[in-house]
């Protein structure tokens, strides 16, 4: 039975990674911290690997102890990360420095796995050209526009600089959606309340990946003979923000009032919202960094390599994914 460590197991994508690992009969070690909620980690086959990632020496000792009891992890998916924060420096600390800590601790404890997947993000490359609408490619020069994207890129660069054949794969998912997700959920909720919101008159060209397809791809990649490559991840289709809202509307059977907010107003509103939510101690989705992403026209990317290397064919297009997601939100009485 292969042993896998999934960091950030308590979060949205992490909890689906854990489910996929169990489905594939792995021995699953859920990487959590003591404060992590374990709502979606109730399966009694899960073993918790509890460790802060902030201290490389503590992490090294924890890995050594773990190795003595269970042996080395065969695979690791380092998925822990932050997408929003009230402290700007936290992006670099959590997404870059902690990634470095995890890898250095693996090396120091002689625990390098057969495959190490790093969960990066499309944000590490930044948006594509707004005029040509060409999809972003792996060979393009990355130009992240947010602190989040910059921190993910730094982690990628560190991993790629590792010598000795460190067996990594880097995945850069575009927007991942599905039940348990909290950011796209706001669009579902908005439409349920009868509103459809846009920034300016600009239509955004966007990509999506349904969480179940994402986790299936990652496990196919783990089990493949491929390493030391990086990939964008989408469902291989291109969409627009209008199309996304239309699918939600159709599924919920709602008529909506379209609200088009001017950019300067949104910028101010997001700034105020960020200050208030951070004052209350909780970072909000609608923040100044998110604003930078929302005003970009082109978030298309070329994910054809995942099909070439892993025979990836998505089981869900956006319509199917939206339907399943909305049904889950309804079951959880969120819609």
- The contact set with ligand NAP (CB under 6 A) reads 8, 10-14, 33, 35-37, 53, 79-83, 94, 119, 121, 173, 175-176
**In the bound complex, which residue of the shown chain has the CB atom lying closest to ligand NAP?**
11
Residue 35 structure tokens: 């404060």
Q: Taking Cα atoms as reference points, which of 300, 299, 297, 239 lies closest to residue 263?
A: 297
| 99/111 with CB nearer ligand NAP | 99
Question: At closest approach, how far in Å is the CB of 142 from ligand NAP?
Answer: 15
Question: At closest approach, how far in Å is the CB of 9 from ligand NAP?
Answer: 6
> 31 forms bridges with which residues in the sheet?
7, 49
| 10/204 with CB nearer ligand NAP | 10
| 36/287 with CB nearer ligand NAP | 36
| 82/226 with CB nearer ligand NAP | 82
End-to-end CA, the chain = 40
Question: At closest approach, how far in Å is the CB of 180 from ligand NAP?
Answer: 7
Question: At closest approach, how far in Å is the CB of 264 from ligand NAP?
Answer: 27
- Rounded to 5°, the CA angle 71-76-78 comes to 140
Question: At closest approach, how far in Å is the CB of 82 from ligand NAP?
Answer: 5
| 77/256 with CB nearer ligand NAP | 77
What's the CA gap between 282 and 294, in Å, rounded?
21
| 55/223 with CB nearer ligand NAP | 55
Question: At closest approach, how far in Å is the CB of 13 from ligand NAP?
Answer: 4
Question: At closest approach, how far in Å is the CB of 283 from ligand NAP?
Answer: 10
| 53/335 with CB nearer ligand NAP | 53
What's the CA gap between 335 and 333, in Å, rounded?
5
Q: Taking Cα atoms as reference points, which of 306, 325, 41 lies closest to residue 177?
A: 325
Instruction: Indicate left, alpha or beta for 253 from its phi (over 0: left) and psi (-120 to 50: alpha).
Output: left
Convert 135-145 to b/e letters by CB count within 10 Å (16 or more is b): bbebeeebebb
Hey, what long-range contacts does 35-41 have (CB within 8 A, 24 or more apart)? Answer: 36/9, 36/10, 37/10, 38/10, 39/10, 40/10, 40/15, 40/180, 41/9, 41/10, 41/15
What's the CA gap between 211 and 77, in Å, rounded?
15
């Amino acid at each position: 039975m292969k042993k896998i460590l999934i960091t950030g197991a308590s979060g949205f994508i992490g909890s689906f990674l854990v489910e996929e690992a169990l489905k594939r009969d792995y021995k699953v070690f859920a990487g959590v911290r003591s404060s992590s909620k374990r709502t979606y980690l109730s399966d009694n086959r899960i073993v918790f690997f509890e460790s802060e990632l902030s201290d490389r020496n503590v992490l090294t000792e924890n890995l050594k102890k773990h190795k003595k009891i269970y042996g080395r992890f065969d695979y690791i998916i380092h998925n822990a990360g932050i997408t929003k924060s009230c402290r700007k420096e936290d992006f670099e600390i959590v997404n870059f420095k902690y990634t470095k800590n995890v890898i250095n601790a693996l090396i120091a404890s002689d625990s390098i796995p057969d495959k190490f997947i790093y969960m990066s993000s499309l944000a590490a490359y930044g948006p594509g050209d707004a005029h040509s609408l060409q999809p972003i490619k792996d060979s393009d020069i990355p130009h992240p526009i947010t602190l989040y994207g910059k921190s993910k890129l730094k982690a990628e660069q560190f991993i790629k600089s590792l010598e000795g054949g460190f067996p990594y794969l880097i995945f850069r998912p575009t927007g991942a959606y599905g039940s348990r997700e909290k950011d796209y959920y706001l669009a579902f909720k908005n439409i349920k309340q009868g509103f459809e919101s846009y920034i300016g008159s600009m239509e955004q060209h966007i990509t999506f990946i349904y969480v179940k397809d994402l986790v299936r791809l990652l496990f196919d990649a783990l089990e493949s003979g491929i390493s030391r490559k990086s990939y964008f991840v989408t469902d291989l289709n291109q969409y627009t923000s209008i199309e996304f809202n239309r699918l939600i509307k159709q599924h919920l059977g709602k008529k909506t009032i379209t609200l088009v907010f001017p950019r300067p107003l949104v910028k101010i509103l997001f700034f105020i919202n960020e200050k208030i939510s951070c004052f209350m101690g909780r970072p909000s989705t609608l923040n100044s960094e998110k604003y930078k992403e929302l005003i970009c026209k082109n978030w298309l990317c070329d994910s054809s390599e995942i099909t070439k290397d892993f025979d990836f064919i998505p089981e869900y297009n956006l319509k199917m994914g939206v339907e399943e997601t909305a049904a889950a939100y309804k079951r959880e009485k969120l819609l």
